[in-house]
Chain A
């Protein structure tokens, strides 16, 4: 800890939800990859907006509407700074899923035609598979997948061939099932060199490590607010300005038009063209507070702590008899999915819950990946910076007990 830095212990106290007992035991929240907890500053920013400034944005001529607009557009600027983009390049969406659907609909339907190739990877979340399958059905585009190695990393041996003729490459930065950290900058560089447009799914990375879209060089980047200490129902799509300016709208309605007649409409410029209807104003303000909070701690410091928790989590889990850990054993993010020989994931998670330990059990929205790994379901522990080494050790004790119970 450098001089002037708050300790992790102190930072943990910013999260009121963590201070409780579940089933008579101190809560250990290890389901952060599903959704992270929210610090007081985020909760207060949203409450403050509703208590003092609530109004609709952009159209109003009165004071409260001005404040709501300033809050909402200020949030856009804060998020742009968070990922190194310009304000005009930030479209607020409901989250990563909607962001990817927006690209598939607005960009995909405009620029892709039958036979064009969309390249994905075998470790994608359903949210980065299904929108493309739907596009394939509508437009006849072909889907291609980068395979994974037995260790759970991308097999890039034939990447140049896989990139041949690819119009769009969309890939996950950090796998929510494997914890794999994909070499995003390298993948973007090679895909761009091959002439592809590139989308990065940053759902699992945005709250954990420094991100700069200009350094990455991607055309699109999607993230979810609720996985980075922000509220649910808000996320964003970054789109490179030249691309957004040329792209047709997504939803039609209010807020996204400049003039409407019975004969037709003219659309606003980006990003407003992509934000039809009254947006999630309080949520955008909450997300900006989350970005502020995370950068107050520092993403480099958060990532370092994540890595510490990841290593300790792997070490503790490796000692449990009959465990199979999914994904690579080094260079990975702070989440570990596993199976126990003796017990099904749902039994593991239910028993852990009885001890106050919140894990995730199931397919983690990566059914094709788990099928490929030959795993019907897995349990997953995913960490955030407010988690502690003590909690990880307690998880080890609980899982040893669960393992013995079912053995």
Chain B
């Protein structure tokens, strides 16, 4: 899939009409994700009930890839348990950042359209921002994540 096809699919379906977009008043954990290099900012909120993700919503603004990725994330992890969400998370990150491109991963479903982003290193951060936020949220750590590596 080339970038234009990716955009066709992603944009028509998600970036213009993001799903689960808005505040989540009874959230149990909220993580803010920030990509300082392009100004993308999203806030991902989860309502956790034990290990179950009862509800998930996001707010913010960013490029089409960032918004569509966050929108699809919410659809994928809602009503899943933590272990299932973590499997998706690992699969998504591997698809984009593993040194060797993995074989197609059917479990990722629609998310596989993002595999094209792999060839555009500068855009990988856009696609993974909401997933980094999810990673932190699953550990039930409210706070913020950034695409930039912090100083050690």
A interface list, Cβ under 8 A from B: 343-347, 350-351, 354, 361-363, 367, 370, 376-377, 405-406
Contacts and interface: CB of A to CB of B under 8 A. Distances in A.
A207 to B, nearest CB: 26
A343 B36 contact: no
A347 B4 CA distance: 10
B27 interface: no
B85 to A, nearest CB: 27
A351 B38 CA distance: 16
B65 A354 contact: no
A344 B4 contact: no
A334 to B, nearest CB: 24
Contacts of A363: 36-39
Given A345-B38, A376-B38, A406 B64 contact: yes
Interface residues of B, number: 21
Contact of A344 (B3, B37, B62): B62
Interface in B6-28: 7, 11
A347 B117 CA distance: 12
B60 to A, nearest CB: 10
Contacts of A343: 64
A362 B11 contact: no
Interface string B59-91: 001111110000000000000000000000000
A362 B3 contact: no
Given A347-B64, A377-B39, A405 B7 contact: yes
A376 B37 CA distance: 10
Given A354-B2, A376-B61, A406-B64, A347 B7 contact: yes
A347 B63 contact: yes
Nearest to B16: A406
Contacts of B37: 362-363
Nearest to B64: A347
B126 A354 contact: no
Given A345-B38, A361-B38, A351 B4 contact: yes
Given A363-B39, A376-B38, A406-B11, A346 B65 contact: yes
Given A344-B63, A346-B63, A351 B3 contact: yes
Nearest to A361: B38
Contacts of A406: 11, 64
B3 A350 contact: yes
Given A362-B39, A363-B38, A405-B7, 7 more contacts: A345-B63, A346-B63, A346-B65, A347-B7, A350-B3, A354-B4, A376-B39
